[in-house]
Amino acid sequence: MIIVTRISQLNRQRNKIADQVKIGFVPTMGALHLGHESLIKKAVSETDFVIVSIFVNPLQFGENEDLDQYPRPLEEDKAICERLGVQLLFAPSSSQMKTMSRETTMVNPPQSMISVLCGRYRPEHFVGVATIVTKLFNLVRPHVAFFGEKDAQQVAILNRMVEDLKIPINIQTCPIIREESGLALSSRNQYLTVEQKREAILLNRSLKLVQNAFNGGEKNVNHLLSMLIQQFNYHPHIQLQYAQIVDTKTLQPLTTITNSALMAIAAYCGNTRLIDNQILTVKKPIIAIDGPAGAGKSTVSRRLAHNLGFLYLDTGAMYRAITWLVMDNKVMVSDENAIAQLVDQANIELLPSDDLTIPVTVKINQQNITKEIRTPAVTAQVSQIAAQQAVRAKLVQLQQEYGMQGGIVAEGRDIGTNVFPHAQVKILLTATPQARAKRRLLDLQNQGETNIDLAKLTAEIEHRDYLDSTREIAPLQKAEDAIEIITDDLTIEQVIDKITTHANMQN
């Protein structure tokens, strides 16, 4: 690891790095703990050359704050950086950074963001942060910079700053690292006595308590805040400075939470000021749509997901992706053991598509196969692969993992009964065999086929329905709590309207 303390040395080292090398940057004030380590580890794993800075920035300390006491264990910090694989450590002095007086050009983020939360009590803090981060960005010229969600206001302000000033740096945030007790790690925890450290757990505990109430359905900010404040009333050793629930991006106060919010607090434990926060996110529902072939499931699901900004969980595309993988590896479709092994190691990703003509972008083992899975060769083999137990088990598990994040529309035959039995919205989309036969007839005629027997088509559909509802694996069944929509006389828009209305009622 190279260590530099002067700007001229940093410039020299920085100029040696080739253009195509991806540079990751972790700015810190030192006294490194596991929270900082998590940022550095992420930088090491996601970029090619990691630069860490250690600089206790006088511009971000107020007059009566702890600038002089702030811990500066430089030797220990160097050893941590070395151990984690940092390539370059920049540890300048205040005179190098010319921050001894405020007689310098300052970066002024929007007043609305720097005067709320911590900014109300530390009026010059975020101007000092924005100024020094800009200066470091200009010196280090990284591609990606890593910050902790522990300082959520800082992250929101810096995100706004790079956006407003068009600074070509990608900001990555990392989750808060905590002690087992829940106390968020901070360089300032060193100031706490053993007793104070035990009391400080209250910050996280009260946030969790309110988060539980929120998850239980309480979305009114005043109610949530009074619950939070009440927790501190019982603990005379900890003085709450503020508790606020604000928009995660603009940091402006909210009255109800409809999407997501930042709940942030600051409290004094003795003379030590501690901060903590929790993001509150309204979980978007899972919409499960089951039904027989030809009822309009996939068109409806795709458009509905697009309208709601949800992911269309195209389960068919997942089975197609495995089929493509089997064929690409030249494995026999009947070789269930070899297929089970392939499936076990496969990494399938579905990414939302903005284009309504493309259901989803599909990747397998990082390779984009969105087009390849729609070929007739894949279509011909997919049902045989989908019937295999190992394939199904793995894909159902993957579908359920996608479900954990909410905000998906999934369609199939057993989505509401088997894959997502706890889905908030369940729909059985059906149409009479006669109506589906007529749609099929039109499709075939549009493809240039003539001489089609409608009665025969209807009989085929009835037979397929019978097989689908009696098959051993994934039979089509109506979930008890599903609502049935018969699409015979409905347009696609009308079906989508009905589902959207039902979903809104469930929320």
Could you give the residue numbers annotated as active site?
Answer: 36
Among the listed residues 58, 92, 142, 148, the single contact to ligand AMP using CB under 6 A: 148
Residue 51 as a binder of ligand AMP (CB under 6 A): the answer is: no
Residue 59 as a binder of ligand AMP (CB under 6 A): the answer is: no
Choose the stretch contacting ligand AMP; rule: CB under 6 A; options: 28-36, 136-144, 221-229, 392-400.
Answer: 28-36
247, 222 Cβ separation under 8 angstroms: no
Nearer to ligand AMP, 71 or 406 (CB): 71
Residue 39 as a binder of ligand AMP (CB under 6 A): the answer is: yes
Choose the stretch contacting ligand AMP; rule: CB under 6 A; options: 177-185, 367-375, 406-414, 449-457.
Answer: 177-185
Shortest Cβ distance from residue 22 to ligand AMP (Å)?
A: 19
Interaction pattern, residues 118-147, with ligand AMP; x per rule: CB under 6 A? -----------------------------x
Strands laid side by side in the 2-4 sheet: 2-4, 88-90, 49-54, 23-28, 144-148, 170-174
Nearer to ligand AMP, 43 or 346 (CB): 43
Residue 90 as a binder of ligand AMP (CB under 6 A): the answer is: no
Angle between helices 315-328 and 376-386 (to 10 degrees): 100
Nearer to ligand AMP, 198 or 498 (CB): 198
Distance between CA 171 and CA 158 in Å, rounded? 8
* Bridge partners for 360 per DSSP: 352
> 3-state DSSP helix/strand/coil percent for the chain, to nearest 5?
45, 20, 35
Residue 86 as a binder of ligand AMP (CB under 6 A): the answer is: no
Longest dimension (CA), the chain: 90
Considering only residues 182-201, where is the footprint of ligand AMP by CB under 6 A? 184-187
Residue 28 as a binder of ligand AMP (CB under 6 A): the answer is: yes
In the block, residue with structure tokens 């550095």: 40
* Bridge partners for 272 per DSSP: 269
Shortest Cβ distance from residue 422 to ligand AMP (Å)?
A: 32
Residue 214 as a binder of ligand AMP (CB under 6 A): the answer is: no
Residue 210 as a binder of ligand AMP (CB under 6 A): the answer is: no
Distance between CA 301 and CA 320 in Å, rounded? 18
What is the amino acid identity at position 239? Q
Residue 385 as a binder of ligand AMP (CB under 6 A): the answer is: no
Among the listed residues 25, 38, 107, 251, the single contact to ligand AMP using CB under 6 A: 38
Choose the stretch contacting ligand AMP; rule: CB under 6 A; options: 170-178, 354-362, 465-473, 484-492.
Answer: 170-178
Among the listed residues 174, 262, 280, 479, the single contact to ligand AMP using CB under 6 A: 174
Choose the stretch contacting ligand AMP; rule: CB under 6 A; options: 136-144, 174-182, 418-426, 431-439.
Answer: 174-182
Angle between helices 336-345 and 389-404 (to 10 degrees): 20
> For every residue of 312-336, which 3-state class applies, written as one string?
EECHHHHHHHHHHHHHHCCCCCCCH
284, 258 Cβ separation under 8 angstroms: no
Element (H, E) at 368: strand 367-368
* Residues whose CB is less than 8 angstroms from the CB of residue 359 and which lie 6 or more positions away in sequence, other chains included: 298, 302, 312, 314, 317, 353
List residues binding ligand AMP (CB under 6 A): 28-29, 35-36, 38-39, 147-148, 150-151, 174, 176-177, 184-187
